[in-house]
Amino acid sequence: MVKSTRPIRIYLLWMMEEIEKLERYLQWVDKDFFLSHEEKFDACLIPLIQLWETAAQLMEHHDKNIIWLPLLSIKAVRNILVHVYHEINKERIRNIIIHNIPELKKDLQFLLSQEN
């Protein structure tokens, strides 16, 4: 496997960008609106997939042990989104965005502060 020459910080920043998109997309959006508007749900899938793709690249290209990030879980959810799209539970995806993504953001912010 060829190791990336990109610093880990670049991956972390890319992940933060996707999280910020999710925050913008869901600002002022309640549960009922999210679950009933296909466009809003679909708009959130792209940043989620990009977030998880970047996490997978980070795992693949760097040996550094990044214990703060649940990278294996992130990659598993990405595989479900991409390969089992028609069976996705919208409420479960919303819960991931609302509850898990803020925790991931905190972890990324911590790692970024350590990279300085």
- Look at the chain and report how many structural domains it folds into: 1
pLDDT at 68 exceeding the cut of 70: no
Task: Kindly state the tokens that stand for 103.
Answer: 């925790």
Q: Using an 8 Å Cβ cutoff, are 22 and 52 in contact?
A: no
More confident residue, 110 or 16: 16
**Which regions of 1-116 does DSSP assign to beta strands (E)?**
none
96: in domain: yes
Q: Is 94 part of a structural domain of the chain? A: yes
Whether 62 maps to a domain, the answer reads yes
Host domain of residue 83: 8-115
Buried b (16+ CB within 10 A) or exposed e, 7-36: ebeebbebbbebbebbeebbeeeeeeebee
Q: Pick 2 or 108 by higher pLDDT.
A: 108
Q: Quick check: is 3 in a domain? A: no
Q: Domain containing 85 — which CATH number?
A: 1.20.120
The whole-model pTM stands at 0.80
- Distance CA(17)–CA(32), nearest Å, equals 26
Distance CA 16, CA 21 (A): 9
Q: Is the pLDDT of residue 80 over 80?
A: no
Q: By the 8 A CB rule, do 58 and 11 touch?
A: yes
In a domain, 80, yes or no: yes
The reported pLDDT for the residue numbered 43 is: 93
In a domain, 22, yes or no: yes
109: in domain: yes
Q: Is residue 2 situated within a structural domain?
A: no
Q: What is the pLDDT of residue 96?
A: 84
- At 8-21, the pLDDT tens digits run 889 999 999 999 99
